[in-house]
Structure 1
């Protein structure tokens, strides 16, 4: 049985990064590095060294701590091959389908172009968790800075095909804002209404709304529901190509 822990660490204004620790091998990885100081403090508080940095994409708020952490811990930086020229200090380049071994933890790389062309997510079936960077948020998804709507829709389908109970660890705390947009599209979605109430209670207490999970997002996230009949009807796009429906949802969110 895997003896491991995931630590969700708030950073900057609304970022999250994540420590993965395998107790049997004493190996630790961090998913993205928004703030080297916060990460180092969390490691020191637990008595952990840092062995690996897993990078989802090249935006500054996901790589800003790479250089300082590598200098401090001499750790290995892993990141998407397509971004190898813009990710500092990269040691190992990965692409969709690659499998990483972090102590006893198996990590599968999923290519998810859309937010950026090189974006990858990291899925561990053993941990029942996927680390999605800025591809997916609770009730939302990342802006399309580099990829196309069709690419992002395909990427989101890969994530929703994971087991329903898979925990989704997102790179930002955007849930409350996303909920308002989702409600505007599906005001009669009962599961969405329940989720919005849960989110309001959590945020009023200063608590995170993450992780979410695949099943919950399939019920509440309009960007994962572009092929759902009711949502297509609400958009006046019944029977349309789901990629086109996704593009319309993304356009409306960008203009909201």
Structure 2
């Protein structure tokens, strides 16, 4: 995957956990994980079963785990078919266990499980939905953020409040900058165009958008990203900066109010 030199050193594959992106539906990404030490295979947020099965058959793998970040149909749509075909166990958020089809193990905030030898820890991140959870692999420097954190964006507030989402994003922002972020949708180009309306003089943002434009012109994914890149370019992670508050006419305001205004503007953005 070609990358802008400005950001290439930040994005490296995890040392022990292989992660492959599987496109699904119109703009979803399903993430296929394989532990190099044990061969255990997991899938994160299978929107549908068929593309996952196709990749597994091509690689000669079976499926051991299904991991869900939240209950939306474009993240759990393949759960039951994949479970029936492979006998895979389903792991999902404890806060939303009643809405995860076929769930076997519910993970609460701070609880961990393993994909083979690779541990993942749940981080409750309500806002997009009330029971959304992200999964952080500290040893492998990976984050599966679902629809909470996107590249240069964040999820719509379908069930949560701006205060909840801002707290969720600041929890993710506090992870190490080298953390590789795998999110659920190919929204980067539109998110970047919106971000430029707020920070037209942000050199990091301009550089990232040049990279994104080149990738999309070649029909390539813009993911994964890193927290270092997102801290520099994502307005939703920057709502506590004076420049962002000034950009939305809320200088000296509480970051939650600034975040809420940025989210409102993004909801209305057509670009």
The Cα of 1:24 is off from its aligned counterpart by 2.3
- What do the CA deviations read for 1:85-109 (whole angstroms, capped 9, x no partner)? 1211110011110011221101010
Looking at structure 2, the residues matched to 45 and 4 of structure 1 have their Cα atoms a distance apart, in angstroms, of: 19
The secondary structure found in structure 2 opposite 1:173 is: coil
Tell me if 1:195 matches 2:208: yes
Match of 2:238 in 1: 225
The secondary structure found in structure 1 opposite 2:38 is: coil
Match of 1:109 in 2: 122
- What do the CA deviations read for 1:103-148 (whole angstroms, capped 9, x no partner)? 1101010100000010000110122110000001111100000000
Moved over 6 A (4+): none
Contiguous gaps of at least 5 residues in structure 2: 1-13
The secondary structure found in structure 2 opposite 1:57 is: coil
Contact 1:134 1:171 in 2 (8 A): yes
Contact 1:2 1:104 in 2 (8 A): no
TM-score, L = length of structure 1: 0.97
Q: How many residues align?
A: 256
Tell me if 1:150 matches 2:166: no
TM-score, L = length of structure 2: 0.92
Instruction: For 1:1-256, list aligned pairs within 5 A.
Output: 3-256=16-269
- What do the CA deviations read for 1:153-195 (whole angstroms, capped 9, x no partner)? 0000011101001011010000011111100111111111111
Looking at structure 2, the residues matched to 3 and 140 of structure 1 have their Cα atoms a distance apart, in angstroms, of: 28
Looking at structure 2, the residues matched to 70 and 137 of structure 1 have their Cα atoms a distance apart, in angstroms, of: 28
Contiguous gaps of at least 5 residues in structure 1: none
Tell me the C-alpha RMSD between the 2 structures.
1.2
